[in-house]
Structure 1
Amino acid sequence: MQATWWEKTVEYGFILRLSAAGRLDFAAPIAGRHERSSGDGIFGKDNKLVLIEFKREKSEIAAEKTIFTDYYAAANQLNHYNHHWIVYGGLTDQKKLGLGNQKYFDPHARSTDITDILSKGITHSEFMVYLEQLQYYRVADGRAGGGHVSPESMLTVLGVSPSGKLVGSLSLEQYSHELKPTFPAPHNTPNSSPSLRPRGM
C-alpha cells in the first residue's frame, strides 16, 4: 500500500516535534474574527517571529519560484535573513513520515534539529521590513475572487517566547490583517425609522 499524506500532515508533524522537544507551550489553529483577535493579543507579547512554508514533499518546493517576479533578485536581497524556512515531508527508510527542512532562499542551509528553527526568529520590526521586501518581489495574486487561496495563506507565522517556546501561530494572511485592521463603514440609519425616534417627536 502506498503512503499518503498532505501538507497539513506535515504541519501537524512539525508541531508534534516541537511538543516532543519541550518547545511547545501553546498552539492552536486560528481562523475567523475571534481567533484573530486572540492571535493579536498573543503576538503583542511575543519576542521573536519565524515564517514557515509547509510543503507536502520536497519536490513541491520548486513551485515557489513561480510566485516571484524575479526569484533570484529576491533571493539575493533577502537570503541574509534566517527566520524564513520550508518544512516538508518524506518517507524514512522505515516507511514512516519524516520531516525535512531548508532555509527559504537557500536549499543548502538546513537545521540538523528541526526544532532549532524556532531559534532563528527575528523581532516584529525586522519581520515587517522583511515582509515588505518579500511582497515587492511577489507576483500579485489575482485569484482573490475565484475561490482559490493566495500564496500568503499557505505561510505560517510562529511566535516564539524568549525561552524558545512556541506561543502562537497565524497564517501570514491573517497576520497581515492584524497589522492593517479594517474598520466597518459607519452604519447610517434613516431618521424616519419609527423604532429609533424618541417619543414625543
Structure 2
Amino acid sequence: MQWWEKTVEYFFIKKYVADHLVAPLDGKHELAGDAILSDYQQKWIIIEFKARAESLDTEKKKFRSYADAYMALEKYDHHHYLIYGEILNGEFDLVAKTYFSRREQKDIKKILEYGKDIDSFLKYLNFFIKLKSEKGTSSSGNLGSYAFIAGVNNNNEITTCMSLQEFGLKHELNLESTPKEEKQKEITRERQRDRDGPSLGF
C-alpha cells in the first residue's frame, strides 16, 4: 500500500477532527458565537504529519543545531507530535511520537490530553521557531506552512484547527526563523564580499 503525507493528514482530520469543529448548526451565524471557545478555554497541540516512520528524521535538518534544540525542548514536547502512517493489524492507521523525545503513542486520542494552555503554548512555539533554520523550508512557504495547530476542549475533542501560519498571524508570531535585521546584515556582507573579490583567508 502506498501513501503520502497528505494521506496521513486527511486520515487524521477525517477521523479525529471533522465531527467536533465548532460551527453553527442551522447556518445562522449569530448562533455560532455562543459555541466558539476562546483561546484560553482550550488546550493547544502542534502536529507535523509525515508519511512513514523513516521520514521523521528529516525534521532534524530544519534546525541550525538539532542537538541544541533537543537539549532545550525534549523535556517540554508532550504537546508536540509527529504523526505518520503505518500498517497495524493489516490496516492503515496512525502512530504519533513526541517531536523531540520520540515517545510513541499508538492511541492517537491520547495525544489530545496533553495540550498546553495558550500562554505556555506560545512560549514554547516562540522558542521552537527561533531554533529553526530556513534551510528546511521551501521557496513556496515559510515555517508556518507545514504544521497543524489544534485547540482541544475539556472533553479532549479538537474544536479549532489551523495552520501554524494562520495561528501565527492571529497571535503576531514572527515565523521567520532568522530575524530580518540579521538577514539584512548577511545580505550586506555577501554584497561586500562580491565587491572585494574572493577572500584569501586572512
1:1-201 counterparts in 2 under 5 A? 3-18=1-16, 24-26=19-21, 44=39, 46-81=41-76, 82-94=78-90, 96-107=91-102, 109-140=103-134, 146=139, 148-180=140-172
Quick one: distance in 2 between partners of 1:163 and 1:74? Answer: 32
How far did residue 46 of structure 1 move? 3.9
- 2:153 alignment partner AA: S
Quick one: distance in 2 between partners of 1:12 and 1:46? Answer: 26
How far did residue 142 of structure 1 move? 9.2
- 1:113 alignment partner AA: D
- 1:70 alignment partner AA: S
| TM-score, with structure 1 as normaliser | 0.71
- 2:43 alignment partner AA: K
| TM-score, with structure 2 as normaliser | 0.70
Q: Secondary structure at the residue paired with 1:115?
A: helix
Cα RMSD (Å): 2.6
Name the one with the larger helix percent. 2
Give a deviation string over 1:52-95, Cα, whole Å, max 9, x none: 0111111111110000011111111111221000100123352x
Listed as ranges, the gaps of 5+ residues in structure 2 are: 24-32, 174-202
Query: Cα 1:156–1:27, aligned 2, differ >3 Å: closer, same or farther?
Result: farther
Q: Secondary structure at the residue paired with 1:87?
A: strand
Listed as ranges, the gaps of 5+ residues in structure 1 are: 29-37, 182-201
| Counterpart contact for 1:43–1:159, Cα < 8 Å | no
How far did residue 99 of structure 1 move? 1.1
Quick one: distance in 2 between partners of 1:75 and 1:179? Answer: 25
Quick one: distance in 2 between partners of 1:116 and 1:128? Answer: 22
Query: Cα 1:42–1:149, aligned 2, differ >3 Å: closer, same or farther?
Result: farther
Quick one: distance in 1 between partners of 2:6 and 2:22? Answer: 14
Quick one: distance in 1 between partners of 2:98 and 2:137? Answer: 27
Q: How many residues align?
A: 161
Work out the percentage of aligned pairs sharing the same amino acid: 27
- 1:156 alignment partner AA: F
- 2:42 alignment partner AA: N
